[in-house]
Amino acid sequence: MVAPGGGAGARGKPEEAGGRAPRHPWFLQDAPGEHRAAELGHAGFVEAALGVDGKLLVSRNHAWAWPMEAARAGKVDVADLLIGHAWAWPMDAHGPLLMANKAGDTPLHEAVKHGRSAVALKLVDAEPGSGHALNVKQQTPLHIAAREGLYKVVIKINSQPWVHESFVPSDSVSGSALHQAVLGGHARVVEILLDMTPREQIGLTDSSENNALHYAAQKNNARVVKLLLNRMVELAYKRNRDLQSPLHVAAYYGSTKAMAELLKQCPDVAEMVDSNGRNALHVAIVIGKVDVLRCLLKHVRPDEIINKVDNDGNTALHLAAKLNRAPLGLLLLKDRRVNPCLLNREGRTARSITEEQTPVDSFTLFQVYFWKELKKQESIKCKAQQLPPETTPDWLQDLNQYVQQRMGTYTLVATLIATVTFSSTFTMPGGYDQQDGTAILGHRMAFKLFIFANTLAMLTSIVVVFGFIWARREQLDFRTGRVIAWSHWLTVIACLSMVASLTTSVYLTVAAKAPWLAYIVIVMGCSTPVVMFLMLGKDLFATRV
């Protein structure tokens, strides 16, 4: 049901606004029609209504004031009209241009939230100080405009006379306007703010003591990183509450582009450590991202940084062994600067840590290769040092047993598939022509599909069988794991090919006399991969080796 006056506001007919106020006391209390008119941009209706009673300018409809409706809807003509009437009001917090809703948002907050640049510019002209009004979340319109990339609004607000007060961090504040511009990824706005912000304000931090460069590092925005460093290089050496530098943050979030730019302009930032005494290399190992470690090894030069120990005496290589990060450990060992002979505070090397690890489900054949590579490098680089004695890891036997079981299973399945598909070659569906020995149904498309699927299943199975014949002769290493991984995929392909072979074979033999049965078999065959995927999900295509 439409409230009295609501239809008039929606239609935008000024003649319906005049004269109805004296007869309806609700007019001054809710004014739904006028709010609707402001939202839809009916300036004539709004002007007529305000002519009846100017107090309607601050009337509320569900906590929304007229100026907020116009700002949110982006109706410039209505905004002009309301701003003109607002000049008659005292310029205080209760005035039309600064009045706030329950969230503390003023009309300018609403305009920038909804990307209404034209309305926002007019509101700033009318009330210059509104650009720095805080809402409940302690965000100003300048914060929001910077985050949304409204560069004209940012310029307008910053060009107004304003005394920069000392910044007080709050748990609900996401830093300064510069932080928000970086968070939104708007390089142009960042440049504008850097030009218009006093130098002492550029280094402001949020509630966690992150500066704008921390944000740029998190967002992997190399261009913004370069802009910030060109303006204030000291930002690269500022730590947050956890004593993390921007490089630590970039490593944690996998921001390789930002890391490369940081290390290009400030190579010595790689020496910085956090509250645990860990540098960016340690962080890369902890989060387990190979691309981050590769980027660091490429750009970090001094050996001392690569072999830096944390508060527990662990180097990055120690952590790779301790956290079972075999791929990252192997990447470290490829770098000649990495020293595998170092002892941590417990007197253990990376090799001895690996040997003492408790078997877990995440162990793979990469772990075996990592352990063997550690032993190899120790024997070459650590001849003159006293190191913990070599032992056979407890997990090696368990992993070896697991691999042997996997190889046995794959070999059995592959042998069965090869046998079945080979026999199908001599029992072609439809039989052979007795005169020339060719297949009777050889001209059918379904027969050609049968031949293709049957041959594919047989050949992939043969590859699996011969792969494991070779693998059983070798010791466990990454090559064995590669054979198992390939065999898993080839076995899946062989099984699906065998399903296709069965389906086409049945279709060729029964379609002429029982078409319904042939189509049912086709549906069953097509549903087999779907059922397999529903049962196993992504595990259907993954194998632990």
Q: Which percentage of the chain shows pLDDT scores above 90?
A: 41
Are 352 and 358 within 8 A, CB to CB? no
Are 310 and 339 within 8 A, CB to CB? no
Q: 343-363 burial, b for 16+ CB within 10 Å, e for fewer?
A: bbeeebbbbbbbbbbeeeeeb
Q: Which of 522, 519, 465 is nearest to 499 (CA)?
A: 522
Q: What is the pTM of this model?
A: 0.71
Q: How far apart are the first and last CA of the chain?
A: 67
pLDDT digits (tens, 9 = 90+) for 52-94: 444 444 444 433 444 555 555 546 666 666 666 555 555 554 5
Whole-number Å distance between alpha carbons of 61 and 74: 18
Q: Which two tokens stand for residue 374?
A: 């550690």
Whole-number Å distance between alpha carbons of 460 and 451: 14
Q: Which of 299, 360, 364, 310 is nearest to 318 (CA)?
A: 310
pLDDT digits (tens, 9 = 90+) for 132-141: 888 888 888 9
**Residues in the chain with pLDDT < 70?**
1-97, 162-173, 358-365, 472-479, 538-545
The helix (run of H) or strand (run of E) holding residue 482 is helix 478-510
Task: Please tell me the predicted confidence (pLDDT) of residue 475.
Answer: 60
Are 287 and 254 within 8 A, CB to CB? yes
- Strand positions, DSSP E, 53-102: 60-61, 64-65
Q: Which of 149, 88, 86 is nearest to 123 (CA)?
A: 86
Whole-number Å distance between alpha carbons of 107 and 119: 9
Q: Which two tokens stand for residue 373?
A: 């590579």
pLDDT digits (tens, 9 = 90+) for 222-268: 999 999 999 999 999 999 999 999 999 999 999 999 999 999 999 99
Q: Which of 249, 299, 257, 256 is nearest to 279 (CA)?
A: 249
As beta bridge partners, residue 61 has 64
